[in-house]
A and B are shown apart, each in its own frame.
Chain A
Amino acid sequence: SQTIHQWPATLVQPVGSPLSLECTVEGTSNPNLYWYRQAAGRGLQLLFYSVGIGQISSEVPQNLSASRPQDRQFILSSKKLLLSDSGFYLCAWSVRRVASGEQYFGPGTRLTVT
């Protein structure tokens, strides 16, 4: 069966510090991968998605970036965090090349920027 992992589970970082959140998927190959952010009062917003290694599409202009160094690894990064980066970050995957496929979410990372 497939599982999706995210770490860390919680993170408190000062403004201006760097960020690295990691997501890995087990039990499948060549998945589509997604990063979402859930901010208080704003709902879930798609940040990045990837259909393959090194293929990243950005949905929202921001000071965040994403990378996919391996098939089942998706990393969200920032060089300098802003207060507005606080939120709940969720990684998700779906079967590649299946546009109507179900999307599965990880447990999330709670980020607080102080």
Chain B
Amino acid sequence: KQEVTQIPAALSVPEGENLVLNCSFTDSAIYNLQWFRQDPGKGLTSLLLIQSSQREQTSGRLNASLDKSSGRSTLYIAASQPGDSATYLCAVGSSNTGKLIFGQGTTLQVKP
């Protein structure tokens, strides 16, 4: 059974700092891995999708990497801003139906 873990559960950093969020999964037989952002009381916004054959994806200040053999993914946020404050969720696609298994999320606070 696939399990997804995100560490740390919460993170507080000063504005401008570069930071890394971690995601680990127990079964390396995945189809893809997706990073989401969730603002309080809102739905999920997709940030980056990494296919199982890819090593990384980049979008603006965000870079996500995938290492299937070690069961790990990282989300790198460069030059953090207060507007980046949110909960970041990692989700693994583990079947051909597209079902996602989510981690518990990392709540990020960027202080001005």
Asked if residues B89 and A99 are in contact (CB atoms below 8 Å), the reply is no
Interface size counted on chain B using CB atoms at 8 A = 27
Number of A-B contacts (CB under 8 A): 63
B residues near A51, Cβ cutoff 8 Å: 97
CB nearest neighbor in A for B32 = A100
B72-96 with Cβ < 8 A to chain A: 89, 91, 93, 95-96
19 A-B residue contacts at CB 8 Å? Answer: A34-B99, A34-B100, A43-B104, A44-B89, A44-B102, A59-B99, A88-B41, A94-B98, A98-B98, A99-B96, A99-B98, A100-B51, A100-B52, A102-B49, A103-B98, A103-B100, A105-B46, A108-B42, A108-B43
Which residues of B are at the interface with A, using a C-beta cutoff of 8 A? 31-32, 34, 36, 41-46, 49, 51-52, 89, 91, 93, 95-105
Which residues of A are at the interface with B, using a C-beta cutoff of 8 A? 32, 34, 43-46, 49, 51, 57, 59, 88, 90, 92, 94, 98-108, 110
